[in-house]
Amino acid sequence: MTDLIPPPLPPGATAPWGEEHDCIVARSLFLTDRVAVVAPCLAGAREVRWVSTAADHFLAVIEDLQADIAQLGADIADLGDASAWLCSAGREAEASLDALAAASVAGAAS
């Protein structure tokens, strides 16, 4: 499972979309995998009376983790949408500045 956790970056290097994002995604995948492995075992433990309460508690914790992971995925998608919008707005602003500079040069030349 450690292969899902990205290796540390060399000194001074930065990840293309941020090391924190990489870490969040890796940890989400790790937790999702662990939930998939543990949940059936705990569900089977429900049949044993003396571990029923503990199993119910852990299943509730796992369900909460699954909800948190789903929310984290939605948040990451929202960040991706916001990033795309910012890139688009930046390109539009750059085009506007280029047009303004061209108009200024044309105005100064006349």
Going 59 to 61 to 64 to 65, the CA torsion angle's sign is: negative
For residue 1, what pLDDT band results from cuts at 50, 70 and 90? very low
Q: How do residues 16-49 score in pLDDT, each as one tens digit?
A: 555 555 566 666 666 666 666 666 665 555 555 4
Residue 52 · residue 46 · CB < 8 Å? yes
Q: Where are the domains of the chain?
A: 15-109
| Cβ 27 vs Cβ 5: under 8 Å | yes
Percent of the chain beyond pLDDT 90? Answer: 0
